[in-house]
Amino acid sequence: MRSARTMLFAAAALLASAAMPARADVVVYCSADEKMCRGLVTLFTKETGIKADMTRQSSGETYARIRAEKDNPRADVWWGGTGDPHLQAAEEGLLAEYKSPMLPKMRDWAVRQAELAKFQTVGVYMGALGYGYNSEELGRKKLAAPACWADLLKPEYKGEVQMADPNSSGTAYTMLATLVQLWGEEQAFDYLKKLHRNINDYTKSGAAPAQAAGKGETLVGVAFQHDVVMVALTGKRPLVTVSPCEGTGYEVGSMSLIKGGRNAADARKFYDWALGASAQQIMPEFGSFQVPSNSDVPVPKEAPDLSSIKLINYDFAKYGSSAERRRLLARWTNEVKGAAR
Amino acid sequence: MMPIAARGWSAAFALAVLALPWFGHEDPVVALFAGEALPLVFHAGARPWLLPLLLLPAFAQFAVRHDRPRLLVATAAVALAWLCLEGFAINHRGWTWQWLGAIFGGKPTQPALGWGALLYALAATQLAAIGLARQGWCRGDAFVLGAILLILGAILIFVFWPVMTVLISAVRDNHGNFAPAEFWTKFTDRSIWGLECLTGGGNCGAAWNTLALAVVVGLLSTLLGLAFALVALRTGLPLKGPIRLLSLLPIITPPFVIGLALIIMFGRTGFVTTFLYQTFDIPRSRWLYGWPGVTLAQLLAFTPIAFLVLVGVLQSVAPSLEEAAGTLRAGRWRTFRTVTWPLIRPGVANAFLIGFIESMADFGNPLMLGGSFNVLSTDIFFAVVGAAQDQGRAAVLGMILLGFTMAAFTAQRLWVGRARYTTVTGKGDSGVPPPLPLGLRAACYATVLPWLLLTVVVYAIVLSGGFVETIGRDHTPTWKHFLIAFGIDHGVSGWFLSGSAWNSFITTMWLSALSMPLTAALGLITAWLLARQEFRGRGAFEFLTMMSFAIPGTVIGVSYILAFNTPPVELTGTGMILVLAFMFRNMPVGIRAGIASLSQIDKSLDEASLTLGARSWRTFRLVILPILRPAIIAAMVYSFVRAVTSVSAVIFLTTAEYQLATVYIVGRAEMSEYGVALAYSAVLIAVMVGALVLIRLLVGEQRIGRRSANTAETAPVGLAAS
């Protein structure tokens, strides 16, 4: 029994040391890929000498966490992740207003995002929606390569298309909202009902369909195009990116300051720095091939060619609002998801 | 005359206000200069609401000296009540409730409680126990009372309160207003209770899916576990060592890694699927995604737990009873059915309950393999973090899950009932367990061997996947992935750890090691109280202890932030909150293991000890603990391993400083860097095997005086915590 007692004492001593957290100059919640996040804060510390702590979580998780922590915020900056949760957080008063001196250098979609949220958030990168198909599987089935949203309705694709459940994934919700804006609500739902017959799975996570298509578990996966590119390049998968011919929507990856953060001054330094050229041009090194928001930084060459993408004029104000989102999600769940295949 | 312990606790009570820092502070150096680190006695001037707390230890001192148990209990109760009241009423920003400010005015503030307050509460609890014992409660046993009060308090603070902060949102709308009507709409939702799958049109509700899955997994994992336990203990199969080792591997593996291996084997492009397609022209399909895959993965993950429970129980079945049955000319089968089976029944019930609850709480496998098969745990997660962002729905789903657990729990109690199952008595036992009946043995072999093969292949993938270019596609050996995670470089200032996984690896190891003995101790003491002590409200107490196990990790994570982010108890951002989450989430396993073992030990052993004048602490230490050794090892092993491999509960609690291995692996797997994810998993598995061997060597092997059926047994040191 002596060993057990010794262990208990040792545990108590260690527990005492575990009770004390260390402090950093600025705490960053990051909702992009781990490597990207790590690279970003490391470069920040290197260039400015300010110590930054980073915690990576998906944008939905980060939003839930900031909301839970609102009476005593633990973080200062929230970098990356799709724009909707940032807008949602702004709507709920969780974020701080800040007009960065870097704003004039931003591309116009990034500034629009800031204006929409009354300067409580700003765009840092942009990526278009699309899908990826596995060329090996396509060859095996001897099918013609798809190029449009409409191609996915073909009977040959029965059980071969995968998309996320828009109730849980921001990516899939962007698709739903894109189609509604592209064709009007009735026609969009008509399309989704037909597509339902070809869907093999509505995944929980928005990243899953591109991964599954990369592995050949499904032929087509609906995703943001830069995510498809990333799976193809970093996972070395036979995956081809498609930008639908009818036109498509996009996400604005955003950055926000958290209201009540403890290191407001350093947080602003990080914010200004992250909008600068040195921060934005490193993104391709970490497998992130989105369009950067700083107009001085060129679009990475691996990124899907912007000139070949027909972008719709996405209305973030309307489709980002919680009321409209709930209505569309409820309709999708009732009319599409529950329907027979 | 009060016992000596009363004086000790009374002194500690005073020490807590006079010498220890009353408030906690995030930075001890800053705290020292800001004066926040001072004991209560220095704060009471500026914060008059603390004065009663300062005076109470004097009353306690008086009560102890003059033997006034009633006064002592009253003092302790007032101390605890006032501590809670003032702590909740005044936080770091002022009055917690507006109307208090309206009455009293002013804007008082206070930081979170520190070590002084902790000792204060502890001492008050123990003094209350001593006072009550003096008045004759629990046959005057202060140790039992103290343990009950302490564990009750800890569970109320670290389980009940946080879970309530989440569940309350079931009757609130998204803006935090009271809206009971929404509760009914959410509760009766078609996505929860729909039965469309039976009529052939679409998916069933998450509640039915969860229930069906849990029953199937509970039953099958128990059967498989029993087969494994019988083969390991009651047959002469030379595979005994490997069985023990292999059947333990799944527990030390993060669950989604098993899912990944299953996809690599049975997915549409998996190598088994491709082989069947190319050789036998069996069409490739996606059967794995949905309930079949989840069931398979959960069986792989939870059968070993059932095995651990059952092997412990089977070992303590007294062979002399079986021998007696044989002497009375009962056949082997009849012996098994009428003697062995009834004796292992409580163990079987426990194994089923654990499999059932584990399946309902499981998050990683449904996430990885669920497809359109919705279960409550993943639905809860996405209700919180998904695009719909509906915490109220998460709370409603959480309540349903809790309801199921409660029902399982009640059913288990009814089945096991009040029958007695004790076979380890004061008398020694020198029987030799009989061999299994032939049919049963054949059935055991037929299930155990293919399952072993599957496990071997799954682990071959998990262990080798990190050391080839791309598993399933390109099998050129490489150290690339391993070095990304665990590289060590030589720089200007000497050797340093350059791998990206070192930080999370080291944190995971020491936080898990820290929670291990604490979890085991908490679980076993609770088990002893539940199995051996009679007190009012025992059923409610037992339910509270199971609560944290039944609630999905995600809800626990969110609830810990909601409850422990602001004073009076402020823990977010520390390593301690992770240790506490591990402790209270894994405690039920220690409890179940302890109860299963204790229900087989005759109470006469305790009574003999008590008759000889030993008090209950001494009895617990000298009689119960040594017999419980297998359960202790099981609880320690399990709590360590669970801490290392848990994901969902901690995903909201990790910070930049306290990164955890599983969260890192999930991040890598999400980005399809399977190489790094698998290499890291392989390292974790290797380290855990090492740790388990070490624990076993430190705590030692169980020795119940039994002769082995196989005298020539020279099996290698099995890892089974048996």
Q: Tell me which residue in B28, B174, B203 faces A20 most closely, judged by beta carbons.
A: B28
Give yes or no for a contact between B368 and B435, defined as CB atoms under 8 angstroms apart: no
Give yes or no for a contact between B395 and B182, defined as CB atoms under 8 angstroms apart: no
Average pLDDT over residues B233-247: 71
Chain B hits for A35, CB-CB cut-off 8 Å, are 671
Q: Tell me which residue in A4, A53, A64 faces B558 most closely, judged by beta carbons.
A: A64
Nearest CA to A89 out of A75, A78, A103, A98 is that of A78
Q: Are A68 and B558 in contact (CB < 8 Å)?
A: yes
Q: Tell me which residue in A11, A58, A230 faces B517 most closely, judged by beta carbons.
A: A11
Q: Are A18 and B511 in contact (CB < 8 Å)?
A: yes
Chain A hits for B569, CB-CB cut-off 8 Å, are none
**Annotated domain spans of chain A:** 7-127+250-303, 129-249+320-337
Chain A hits for B201, CB-CB cut-off 8 Å, are 338-340
Chain A hits for B673, CB-CB cut-off 8 Å, are 234-235
Q: Are A8 and B657 in contact (CB < 8 Å)?
A: no
The pLDDT of residue A186: 94
Confidence of residue A255 (pLDDT cuts 50, 70, 90): very high
CA–CA distance, B395 with B163 (Å, rounded to integer): 9
Residue entry with tokens 């070395």: A236
The pLDDT of residue A224: 92
What are the φ and ψ backbone dihedral angles of B421, each rounded to 5 degrees?
A: -125, 20
The pLDDT of residue B717: 29
- The alpha carbon of residue B580 and the mean position of all alpha carbons in its chain are separated, in whole angstroms, by 11
Residue entry with tokens 């001192």: B61
Confidence of residue A274 (pLDDT cuts 50, 70, 90): very high
Q: Does any domain span residue B485? A: no
The pLDDT of residue A174: 92
Residue A42's contacts (CB-CB under 8 Å, 6 or more residues apart) are none
Count how many domains chain B has. 1
The pLDDT of residue A265: 92
The string of DSSP letters for A183-205 reads H-HHHHHHHHHHHHTTEEEEESS
| Res. A131: pLDDT tops 90 | yes
The pLDDT of residue A188: 94
Q: Does any domain span residue B125? A: yes
CA–CA distance, A244 with A310 (Å, rounded to integer): 8
Q: A101 and chain B: CB distance < 8 Å anywhere?
A: no
Chain A hits for B468, CB-CB cut-off 8 Å, are none
The pLDDT of residue A194: 92
CA–CA distance, A280 with A260 (Å, rounded to integer): 26
Give the minimum alpha-carbon distance from A20 to chain B in angstroms, rounded to a whole number: 6
| Res. A166: pLDDT tops 60 | yes
Quickly count: other Cβ atoms within 10 Å of residue B154's Cβ.
17
Q: Best-predicted range by mean pLDDT among A189-203, B176-190, B483-497, B545-559?
A: A189-203
The pLDDT of residue B34: 56
Nearest CA to A53 out of A65, A41, A68, A62 is that of A41
Give the minimum alpha-carbon distance from B518 to chain A in angstroms, rounded to a whole number: 7
Nearest CA in chain B to A330: B388
Query: Which has more confidence, B325 or B85?
Result: B85
User: Residue-wise over B619-658: b if at least 16 C-beta within 10 A, else e?
Assistant: bbeebbbebbbbbbbbbbbbbbbbbbbbbbbbbbbbbbbb
Nearest CA in chain B to A172: B387
Q: pLDDT by residue (tens digit) across B403-446?
A: 887 787 777 767 665 445 555 555 555 566 666 677 778 888 88
The pLDDT of residue A21: 47
Q: pLDDT by residue (tens digit) across A283-324?
A: 888 888 889 999 999 888 888 777 788 889 889 888 888 888
Give the minimum alpha-carbon distance from A325 to chain B in angstroms, rounded to a whole number: 8
Residue entry with tokens 């709930």: A326
For B492, the token pair is 């200007």
Residue entry with tokens 């039920």: B588
Three-state SS sequence of B504-539:
HHHHHHHHHHHHHHHHHHHHHHHHHHHHHCCCCCHH
Q: A327 and chain B: CB distance < 8 Å anywhere?
A: no
Number of A–B residue contacts, CB under 8 Å? 198
The pLDDT of residue A246: 92
CA–CA distance, B266 with A215 (Å, rounded to integer): 12
Nearest CA to A87 out of A255, A313, A273 is that of A255
**Cis omega before residue B57 (within 30°)?**
no
Q: Are B367 and A217 in contact (CB < 8 Å)?
A: no
Residue type, A104: P
| Res. B30: pLDDT tops 80 | no
Question: Which helix (DSSP H) or strand (DSSP E) does residue A161 occupy?
Answer: strand A161-164
Residue B446's contacts (CB-CB under 8 Å, 6 or more residues apart) are none
CA–CA distance, B659 with B346 (Å, rounded to integer): 39
The pLDDT of residue A341: 66
Residue type, A19: A
Q: Does any domain span residue B660? A: no
Sign of CA dihedral B51, B57, B58, B63: positive
Rg (CA), chain B: 27
Give yes or no for a contact between A212 and A203, defined as CB atoms under 8 angstroms apart: yes
CA–CA distance, A234 with A240 (Å, rounded to integer): 14
Q: Are A4 and B201 in contact (CB < 8 Å)?
A: no
Give the minimum alpha-carbon distance from A153 to chain B in angstroms, rounded to a whole number: 20
Topology of A7-127+250-303 in CATH?
D-Maltodextrin-Binding Protein; domain 2 (3.40.190)
Nearest CA in chain A to B517: A8
Q: Does any domain span residue B220? A: no
As a whole-number percent, the residues of chain B with pLDDT over 90 amount to 3
The 3-state DSSP class for residue B82 equals helix
Q: Are A168 and B386 in contact (CB < 8 Å)?
A: yes
User: Residue-wise over A286-305: b if at least 16 C-beta within 10 A, else e?
Assistant: bbbbbbbbbeebebbeebbe
The pLDDT of residue A243: 92
Give yes or no for a contact between B69 and B59, defined as CB atoms under 8 angstroms apart: no
| Res. A113: pLDDT tops 70 | yes
The pLDDT of residue B721: 32
Nearest CA to B508 out of B238, B252, B132, B207 is that of B252
Q: Does any domain span residue B429? A: no
**A200 dihedral zone (left: phi>0; alpha: psi -120 to 50; beta):** alpha
B175: burial class by Cβ within 10 Å (0-12, 13-18, 19+)?
Answer: exposed
The pLDDT of residue B701: 54
Half-sphere exposure of B189 (CA within 13 A, CB side): 23
Topology of A129-249+320-337 in CATH?
D-Maltodextrin-Binding Protein; domain 2 (3.40.190)
Q: A88 and chain B: CB distance < 8 Å anywhere?
A: yes
The pLDDT of residue B44: 78
Q: How many residues does chain B have?
A: 722
CA–CA distance, A70 with B176 (Å, rounded to integer): 13
As a whole-number percent, the residues of chain B with pLDDT over 70 amount to 85
Chain B hits for A38, CB-CB cut-off 8 Å, are 500
Q: Are A64 and B576 in contact (CB < 8 Å)?
A: no
CA–CA distance, B347 with B416 (Å, rounded to integer): 9
Write out residues 6-65 of A within 8 Å (CB-CB) of B. Answer: 7-8, 11, 14-15, 17-24, 27, 33-35, 38, 53-58, 60-61, 63-65
Q: Are B26 and A20 in contact (CB < 8 Å)?
A: yes
The pLDDT of residue B429: 57
Average pLDDT over residues B330-349: 79
Average pLDDT over residues A142-167: 90
Nearest CA in chain B to A58: B385
The 3-state DSSP class for residue A287 equals coil
The pLDDT of residue A20: 47
DSSP B434: P
Query: Which has more confidence, B379 or A243?
Result: A243
Average pLDDT over residues B55-64: 88
Q: pLDDT by residue (tens digit) across B596-653?
A: 777 777 777 777 777 887 777 787 778 777 777 777 777 787 788 888 888 777 777 8
Give yes or no for a contact between B610 and B619, defined as CB atoms under 8 angstroms apart: yes
Give yes or no for a contact between B217 and B299, defined as CB atoms under 8 angstroms apart: yes
Query: Which has more confidence, B669 or B542?
Result: B542
Nearest CA to A218 out of A146, A288, A266, A168 is that of A146
CA–CA distance, B333 with B319 (Å, rounded to integer): 15
Chain A hits for B265, CB-CB cut-off 8 Å, are none
Q: Does any domain span residue B116? A: yes
Residue B323's contacts (CB-CB under 8 Å, 6 or more residues apart) are B431, B432, B434
Average pLDDT over residues B262-286: 81
The pLDDT of residue A195: 94
Nearest CA in chain B to A320: B387
Domain span at residue B41?
A: 1-93+109-135
Q: Best-predicted range by mean pLDDT among A251-255, B207-211, B266-270, B304-308?
A: A251-255
Average pLDDT over residues B460-465: 85
Average pLDDT over residues B495-520: 83
Q: A338 and chain B: CB distance < 8 Å anywhere?
A: yes
Q: pLDDT by residue (tens digit) across A200-236?
A: 888 877 888 998 898 888 999 999 998 899 888 877 7
Lowest mean pLDDT among B63-67, B304-308, B429-433, B616-620: B429-433
Chain B hits for A322, CB-CB cut-off 8 Å, are 174, 389
The string of DSSP letters for A231-263 reads HHHHTT--EEEE--TT-B-EEEEEEEEETT-TT
For B700, the token pair is 């030692």
Residue B572's contacts (CB-CB under 8 Å, 6 or more residues apart) are A69, A72, A74, B560, B561, B564, B565, B653
Distance spanning both ends of chain A, measured CA to CA: 63
Residue A71's contacts (CB-CB under 8 Å, 6 or more residues apart) are B93, B565, B566
